[in-house]
């Protein structure tokens, strides 16, 4: 399979084999049972106001050009899920709206790797495109990685950061994982790799061995697998068929520009999203929604040195981050050291925990070593 050749050269065959040996179980535990499984979201973000008129560069046009499994839409299992989605159009649309900030970027990554466009729709099945989704079995994020699988793929979980919730990091990891499994176990067969992504390579390999022993075909569509896995690709192919021709299926598909809604910015010093919002004028909720991996609302070079910002605010944010930090009027700065807490800092400077929180846009008490905090000075205010 030529689409895998370039990836093998980039990743390295030896590391690929070692990684797959450690990841013979599924990436996640349980896909979303149906598109209405996630909570309803009403928060309004900047991407709700992105261009909705049809453009030559519409992201669905790009995706349609890269869909490669549409011939599967005639399978009875796929037809079942097409009918299900057609009967629940509002759920389909709500999930696609949730995908708005991510869809163009993910589609581009999938296409760049030479993978079928259907791969970009896996989060529809896995998490209903909710990057904060968590299953009762412990899977988390857009791609629903279990903790052990995420750790093995480099998605760290420490110090206020969970890489499984980081859309950029987890997407790259998921695509690596799917390609690696296809090459290691299935001679490039991506459908079998996706089945293994859901159920684990061990489960799929045993099913293939049993089918071969009976003289039956060993491709995905003929295997006896757990019910969830039997429906995994049919769901994926069903939503792909609807996106390929939404009008024929009675669904008014929201159009999304074929350009990422966010920009990636590298941070060299700790930064709190509340602080960033205050100094740059970017909406705090938008920053939080784009950076779900920052579980405590702060980025730190030692754990997560990249933050996502609305693309239209990239230059403003970069300008603020490149300006040397100076104490705010009527405030002094405190650089957090090991052992510091908000209460100890407040006592040291004659302030209060609540004042420090409000002044720095903090939601809780978690702070990082090296973080700069503006401390309100009551003595100055009194003068």
Considering the candidates 126, 179, 183, 255, report the single residue annotated as catalytic.
Answer: 126
- Report residue 145 CA to chain centroid gap: 10
350 conformational bin, left if phi > 0, alpha if psi -120 to 50, beta if neither: left
Cα of first residue to Cα of last residue in the chain, in angstroms, is 74
Q: Tell me the CA distances in angstroms from 163 to 50, 83, 90, 173, 197, one per residue in order.
A: 27, 35, 31, 10, 18
Sign of CA dihedral 320, 326, 330, 334: positive
Beta strands 331-335 and 271-272: pairing type? unpaired
- Report residue 281 CA to chain centroid gap: 25
Contact 239, 86 (CB under 8 A): no
Bridge partner residues of 334 (DSSP): 373
Residue 247: which residues within 8 A CB-CB, separation 6 or more? none
126 is catalytic: yes
Burial class (CB in 10 A: 0-12, 13-18, 19+), 77: middle
Question: For residue 198, how many other CB atoms are within 10 A of its CB?
Answer: 27
| Residue positions annotated with a catalytic role | 126
């Amino acid at each position: 399979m030529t689409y895998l050749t370039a990836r093998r050269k980039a990743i390295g065959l030896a590391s690929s084999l070692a990684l797959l040996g450690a990841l013979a179980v599924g990436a996640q535990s349980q896909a979303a049972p149906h598109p209405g499984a996630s909570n309803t979201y009403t928060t309004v973000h900047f991407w709700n106001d992105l261009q909705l008129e049809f453009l030559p560069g519409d992201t669905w046009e790009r995706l349609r050009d890269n869909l490669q499994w549409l011939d599967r839409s005639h399978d009875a299992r796929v037809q079942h899920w097409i009918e299900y989605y057609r009967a629940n159009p509002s759920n389909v649309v709500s999930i696609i709206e949730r995908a708005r900030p991510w869809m163009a970027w993910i589609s581009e990554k999938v296409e760049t790797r030479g993978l079928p466009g259907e791969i970009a729709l896996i989060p529809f099945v896995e998490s209903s495109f909710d990057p904060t989704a968590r299953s009762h079995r412990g899977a988390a994020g857009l791609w629903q990685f279990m903790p052990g699988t995420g750790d093995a793929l480099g998605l760290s979980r420490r110090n206020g950061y969970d890489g499984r919730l980081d859309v950029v990091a987890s997407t790259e990891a998921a695509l690596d994982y799917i390609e690696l499994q296809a090459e290691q176990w299935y001679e490039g067969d991506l459908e079998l790799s996706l089945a293994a992504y859901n159920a684990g390579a061990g489960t799929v390999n045993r099913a293939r061995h049993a089918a071969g022993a009976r003289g039956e075909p060993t491709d995905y569509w003929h295997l006896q697998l757990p019910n969830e896995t039997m429906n995994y690709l049919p769901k994926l192919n069903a939503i792909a068929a609807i996106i390929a021709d939404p009008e024929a299926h009675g669904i008014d598909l929201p159009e999304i520009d074929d350009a990422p809604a966010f920009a990636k910015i590298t941070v060299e010093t700790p930064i709190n999203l509340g602080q960033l919002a205050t100094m740059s004028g970017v909406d705090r909720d938008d920053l939080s929604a784009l950076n779900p991996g920052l579980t405590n609302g702060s980025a730190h070079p030692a754990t997560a040195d990249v933050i996502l910002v609305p693309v239209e605010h990239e230059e403003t944010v970069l300008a603020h981050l490149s300006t040397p930090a100076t104490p705010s009027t009527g405030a002094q700065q405190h650089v957090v050291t090991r052992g510091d807490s908000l209460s100890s800092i407040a006592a040291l400077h004659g302030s209060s925990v609540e004042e420090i929180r409000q002044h720095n846009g903090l939601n809780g008490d978690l702070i990082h070593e090296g973080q700069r905090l503006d401390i309100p000075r009551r003595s100055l205010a009194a003068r």
